[in-house]
Structure formats: C-alpha cells, structure tokens
C-alpha cells in the first residue's frame, strides 16, 4: 500500500556530517541503528535532522545489508525503516534489538518496513524464510572465481569476513577449492609482513597442547609458481598476454563500432536529405550546418580509430597463429593454451569490473613493477591473472606466507588449534613477532571446516 505522506527525502547514509552511529549487527546479515540514536547523534553534532514519516520514533534504520545474506536475498535494503517485527509494532527504541537478537536461521522473520520509492513512502513486507543450519553456514562463505595454472576455472571458498587477499597483516584463515560443484582441497593460509627477516623457515602455531609447523613459501628468482616465472612480458607469458590483448582489442572495437553507429544514427535523423545552401547566412542555419560538420568530423575520427584498431587486432591474430606453430616458438616457451583455457580466460575476463579490466590491461602491457598503487594491486590479485608476478612483488616487500594443503590426517590438528584457549603464530626467523589467533578467526575457521566436511561427505 502506498503511504501518501509529503515529507523531505531521508538522506540516511549520505549525511554530510561524518558521525558514528551506534549500530547493532544480526546474523541474518544486516545492521541497524535506532531512529532515536540516529537523531541523538546528529543533534550532538549540531547537524540537521531529516524528516521521518509519522510513528517511526521507535523504528530502526537499516544501515548495512551484507551481500548473499538472508536479508539481501529477501530484498531488504539499506535505509529501510523497520517498524514491525513478526506482526508486532516496535513500542520502544530497544524493542527491535530484543526481538531480532533471538532470531536464528531456523525462525521465520517478517519485517514491516517503510521504504522511500519515487518520492513517496511505501509500506513493504520483507519475509525471511527459515533455512537449515547447513544452508546458514554456506551463506557465511565467499565464493571467488579463479583460474589455475592451466588457466582453467575453479572457485576459492573462504569466510566472507576473512581477508580476500593473501597479503593481510596477521592473516590466519581456511579456504577450500571447488570444481564442478565439488570441494577439492582444504588450505590453511598464514601471512605476515616481516621486512628484513630471513626468507627461510616455517610458520609455527603454538597451543598449550602442541606445536604445529607449516613451511613458508619462498619465491625463487627462477621458480615456476602457479603460472610462470618472470614478468608478464616474458616469452612464457606471451600466449596468455596475446589472448588477453585480443579480448581487450575486440571489446574496444565493439565499443568504437557502437559509437560510430550512434553518431551515424544522429546524423541520419537530423540531416536526412539535407543540402547545404551556400547563399544562406542566417545564424540558426549556420549553427545547424556547424553541427552537421561536427558530426561528420566525429564519424571520420571514430572511423580512423576503428581502422587503426582493426590493423592492431589483425597483428595480434597473426601473433596468436605464430604462437600456435611449434616451429615458430622459442624453445623456452613451451606453454600452449587449450581451447578450453581460451574460453575460460574470455569468460573470466568478461566478469571483471571495468576498473579491473583497466588494471589488467596495464599489467599485461607494462608489467606491475611501476605505477600500480596498493588498491590496484589488490584488485589485480582478485582477478587471478597475474599470480606469480604479484607473489614476486610481495616477496620483495617483505611478506612471508604459506598456503598449506591439509590432508584428512591433519584435521584433528586443525580442530585442536580451533578449540585451544590460546593459539599463537610466529615465523621461525622472527620469534619475537608473535600474533594470537583471535576468537573471530577461530569462528571463521570452524565455519569453513564444517562446510568443507559436509560437502565432502555428500
């Protein structure tokens, strides 16, 4: 039902005052702040308080909705106002927390919310159906697409609150790989930034009940890693580099052809049958003609870019064909892309964000030694298209890490670490640089382990 109330737009989340609003977080995958606390915080900051619909003084504002959570899958959105929970109106500022804090994945949750839609307040019902414990655990995981050493697709499954990058301070987490919907290997990941320390030696996890050793990974100058040694511009990378540059070239050509067609369509629409009359000198006619000439110039400019891009694309095609000919390839470069690998690279690249595509282009044209900022390096790492070169760069920065594949025999060891009152981690080269495995990290380890074992036992 449409609530016809004429009030100012609620600017929650985009308020100019950088205020910290006290929020509550719930396992359904969202956070809230009470309208009471929201107004109080703005009042203390001497900031303007936006208008709210009537009878919402005891409501709560949805401040955050996690992706792939019960809340997001049910359609809850940031800035929604929750006024009713399971049929009961909220009677006090703390009523929402009292009701939501006892809701589990096995309970149905019905929220009566008010949402701003097209400058009106709408009343909407959000229903979160009960789900099993196994389904609830799976919603706590992050599933990232990756490419392996043969450039074939797989997924890396980790806890959604664990660092997405290997190179996070005091990183201690579990993840497992998956292909065709089936889990493969379980890995323990440990990482520390220790510039100036020895590169050799293991990571050591210590509990009251034992000492567990995991050998750290060292990137040797000529070591073959997940993909190849050397920079992205080395001969071994050439088949992959050409394939990615071909994809980029095809995308750019498509974009320019569309741009030309749009400009041409405007020209035909506005100047169909137009004949230039040299005798006319009035201003309106001259401006009309100038616009016509400008469109012609634009089409000529775009067409020149298309012709240059087509020549470059054809050179890349020829380069790809030469690389497919064994007699034309350097003995050092024995790697050949299969048709399945080419399709996987194309599909993987198409799913990247526009920003990631730009970063991949720069990396494969010029390498990553210069010009990539930390945020860009993390985005490049997420693409899984430059694993070995990123490893080399991180090694030079002083990162030590291990991604240790765990066997079934090591699961009891892992459970001992999770259940231990205290577990500390250090690298053998720097025993003074100790960090403790936090309660949050242990909870994430347990979730990943439970899902992995449940999926393996199916």
CATH number of the domain within which 65 lies: 2.30.42.10
Q: Nearest-CA neighbor of 243 among 325, 336, 167?
A: 336
Looking at the fold, whether 60 and 89 belong to one and the same domain comes out as yes
CA angle (165 as vertex; 145, 216 as ends), nearest 5: 110
pLDDT in tens, 180-199: 889 999 999 999 999 987 77
Residue where one domain finishes, among candidates 132, 158, 186: 132
Confidence of residue 233 (pLDDT cuts 50, 70, 90): low
Asked if pLDDT for residue 371 goes beyond 60, the answer is yes
In angstroms, the CA 162 to CA 168 distance is 10
Q: According to DSSP H, which parts of 384-428 are helical? A: 387-397, 411-419
Asked if pLDDT for residue 315 goes beyond 90, the answer is yes
Q: Is 446 a member of any domain?
A: yes
Chain mean position to CA 50: 33
Return the pLDDT at 381.
92
Return the pLDDT at 276.
84
Count of CB atoms situated within 10 Å of the CB of 397 = 11
Count of CB atoms situated within 10 Å of the CB of 363 = 25
Least confident of 84-88, 273-277, 344-348: 273-277
Contacts for 396 with CB less than 8 Å, ≥ 6 apart: none
Looking at the fold, whether 221 and 241 belong to one and the same domain comes out as no
Confidence of residue 48 (pLDDT cuts 50, 70, 90): confident
Q: According to DSSP H, which parts of 139-237 are helical? A: none
Residue where one domain finishes, among candidates 111, 132, 153: 132
Q: Is 6 a member of any domain?
A: yes
Chain mean position to CA 193: 23
Q: Is 365 a member of any domain?
A: no
CA atoms within 13 A on the CB side of 207: 17
Asked if pLDDT for residue 292 goes beyond 60, the answer is yes
Confidence of residue 179 (pLDDT cuts 50, 70, 90): very high
Q: Nearest-CA neighbor of 251 among 209, 334, 296, 309?
A: 309
Q: Return the CATH number at 424.
A: 2.60.40
Per the rule left: phi > 0, alpha: psi between -120 and 50, beta: everything else, 86 is left
Looking at the fold, whether 101 and 28 belong to one and the same domain comes out as yes
Looking at the fold, whether 190 and 261 belong to one and the same domain comes out as no
Per the rule left: phi > 0, alpha: psi between -120 and 50, beta: everything else, 116 is beta
Looking at the fold, whether 52 and 37 belong to one and the same domain comes out as yes
Looking at the fold, whether 121 and 7 belong to one and the same domain comes out as yes
Return the pLDDT at 1.
35
Instruction: Report the DSSP beta bridge partners of residue 109.
Output: 128
Contacts for 240 with CB less than 8 Å, ≥ 6 apart: 151, 227, 335, 337, 345, 385
- Helix, coil or strand: residue 318: helix
Looking at the fold, whether 301 and 211 belong to one and the same domain comes out as no
Return the pLDDT at 231.
52
Helix (H) and strand (E) counts for the chain? 12, 17
Are 34 and 96 contacting, i.e. CB atoms less than 8 angstroms apart?
A: yes
Confidence of residue 87 (pLDDT cuts 50, 70, 90): very high
Q: Is 400 a member of any domain?
A: yes
For residue 55 the two structure tokens come to 């009878």
Looking at the fold, whether 206 and 324 belong to one and the same domain comes out as no
Q: Is 245 a member of any domain?
A: yes
Average pLDDT over residues 243-260: 92
- Domain encompassing residue 294: 235-334
Return the pLDDT at 448.
97
Q: Is 352 a member of any domain?
A: no
Return the pLDDT at 334.
56
Are 109 and 84 contacting, i.e. CB atoms less than 8 angstroms apart?
A: no
Summarize the chain as % helix, strand, coil (round to 5). Answer: 40, 25, 35
Strands 30-34 and 60-65: antiparallel
Q: Which residue has the tokens 């990232």?
A: 144
In angstroms, the CA 4 to CA 311 distance is 60
pLDDT in tens, 109-120: 999 999 988 878
**Which tops the pLDDT comparison, 369 or 18?**
369
Looking at the fold, whether 325 and 411 belong to one and the same domain comes out as no
Q: Is 34 a member of any domain?
A: yes
Return the pLDDT at 370.
62
Return the pLDDT at 372.
82
In angstroms, the CA 181 to CA 64 distance is 30
Looking at the fold, whether 206 and 109 belong to one and the same domain comes out as no
Contacts for 399 with CB less than 8 Å, ≥ 6 apart: 167, 191, 192, 193, 194
Average pLDDT over residues 151-163: 93
Q: Is 360 a member of any domain?
A: no
Looking at the fold, whether 31 and 128 belong to one and the same domain comes out as yes
Asked if pLDDT for residue 295 goes beyond 60, the answer is yes
In angstroms, the CA 381 to CA 378 distance is 5
Q: What is the value of pTM for the model shown?
A: 0.79
Looking at the fold, whether 47 and 82 belong to one and the same domain comes out as yes
Are 162 and 173 contacting, i.e. CB atoms less than 8 angstroms apart?
A: yes
| Number of domains observed in the structure of the chain | 3
pLDDT > 90 in the chain, percent: 60
Residue where one domain finishes, among candidates 280, 304, 334: 334
Asked if pLDDT for residue 98 goes beyond 70, the answer is yes
Kindly report the average pLDDT of the chain as a whole number: 86
pLDDT in tens, 373-398: 899 999 999 998 888 778 888 988 99
Return the pLDDT at 218.
59
Torsion of CA 199, 202, 204, 210, to 10 degrees: -160
Return the pLDDT at 232.
58
Q: Nearest-CA neighbor of 116 among 35, 25, 6?
A: 6
């Amino acid at each position: 039902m449409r609530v016809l109330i004429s009030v100012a737009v609620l600017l929650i989340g985009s308020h100019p005052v950088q205020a910290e609003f006290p929020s509550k977080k719930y396992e359904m995958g969202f956070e809230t702040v009470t309208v009471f606390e929201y107004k109080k915080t703005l009042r203390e900051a001497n900031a303007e308080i936006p208008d709210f619909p009537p009878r919402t003084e005891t409501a709560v504002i949805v401040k955050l909705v996690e992706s792939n959570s019960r809340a997001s899958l049910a359609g809850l959105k940031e800035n929604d106002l929750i006024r009713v929970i399971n049929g009961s109106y909220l009677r006090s500022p703390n009523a929402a927390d009292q009701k939501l804090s006892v809701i589990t994945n096995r309970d149905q949750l019905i929220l009566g919310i008010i949402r701003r839609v097209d400058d009106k307040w709408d009343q909407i019902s959000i229903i979160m159906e009960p789900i099993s414990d196994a389904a609830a655990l799976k919603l706590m995981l992050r599933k990232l697409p990756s490419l392996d050493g043969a450039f074939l697709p797989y997924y890396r499954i980790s806890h959604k609150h664990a660092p997405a990058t290997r190179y996070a301070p005091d990183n201690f987490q579990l993840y497992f790989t998956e292909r065709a919907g089936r889990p493969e290997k379980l890995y323990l990941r440990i990482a520390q930034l220790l510039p100036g320390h020895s590169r050799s030696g293991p990571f050591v996890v210590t509990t009251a009940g034992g000492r567990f050793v995991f050998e750290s990974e060292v990137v040797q100058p000529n070591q073959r890693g997940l993909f190849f040694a050397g920079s992205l511009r080395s001969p071994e990378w050439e088949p992959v580099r050409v394939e990615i540059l071909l994809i980029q070239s095809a995308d750019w050509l498509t974009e320019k052809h569309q741009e030309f067609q749009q400009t041409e369509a405007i020209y035909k629409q506005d100047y169909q049958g137009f004949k230039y009359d040299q005798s006319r000198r009035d201003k309106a006619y001259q401006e009309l003609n100038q616009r016509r000439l400008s469109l012609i110039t634009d089409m000529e400019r775009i067409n020149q870019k298309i012709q240059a891009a087509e020549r470059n694309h054809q050179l890349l095609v020829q380069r790809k064909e030469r690389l497919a000919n064994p007699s034309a390839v350097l003995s050092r470069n024995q790697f050949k892309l299969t048709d399945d690998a080419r399709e996987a690279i194309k599909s993987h690249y198409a799913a990247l964000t526009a920003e990631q595509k730009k970063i991949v282009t720069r990396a494969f044209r010029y390498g990553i030694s210069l010009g990539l900022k930390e945020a860009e390096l993390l985005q490049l790492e997420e693409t899984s298209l430059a694993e070995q070169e990123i490893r080399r760069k991180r090694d030079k920065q002083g990162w030590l890490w291990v991604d240790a594949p765990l066997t079934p025999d090591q699961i009891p060891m892992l459970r001992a670490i999770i259940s231990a009152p205290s577990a500390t981690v250090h690298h053998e080269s720097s025993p003074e640089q100790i960090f403790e495995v936090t309660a949050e990290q242990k909870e994430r380890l347990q979730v990943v382990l439970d899902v992995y074992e449940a999926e393996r036992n199916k």
